[in-house]
Amino acid sequence: MYALVDPRTDETRYIGQSVQPLGVRLGGHRKHPSPRIREWLDELRLEGLDPQIVVVRDHVPYADLDHAEQEAISAAGLEGKRLLNVMFAGGTRLLPETE
C-alpha cells in the first residue's frame, strides 16, 4: 500500500494499493488520473513539482489488499486528512475534501 504525498506540505492526499512497482503506479496516476487527482497533479505541475509516493504498509497478502486499503482510507479520513480518495466506510460516504 502506498500514499501520494504533497511535497509542499508533506500532507497525505491519496492512499492506494498496487502490486506494481511504485514508480509504475505513479505513472498510472499521471496518465489516467481521476478528476480529483488530476486537479491536484495539475496544481503541482504548475509549480514544477511531482507528488511523493511512499510505502505506508508493506507485505499485505494479495487477498487482503482491498480490506487493508479501505481501513487505511477510513482511518485517515477520520483523522481529518484531506484525502482525494472516494470510498464508503461503515455505510457513510467519506469525501474528506469537498468537490
DSSP-based three-state secondary structure for 16? strand
Q: Which amino acid is at 75?
A: A
Q: Cα 83 vs. chain centroid, distance in angstroms?
A: 7
Q: For each of the chain's 99 residues, which pLDDT tens digit applies?
A: 999 999 999 999 999 998 887 778 887 777 777 888 889 999 999 999 999 999 999 999 999 999 999 999 988 888 888 899 876 334 344 444 443
Strand-pair partners of 53: 4
Beta strand 2-6 pairing with 52-55: antiparallel
Alpha helices in the chain (DSSP H): 22-31, 35-46, 65-78
Record the cell numbers describing residue 76, joined without a space.
485517515
Residue 34 is inside which H or E element, if any? none
Nearest Cα residue to 3 out of 32, 29, 38: 29
The domain limits of the chain are: 2-79
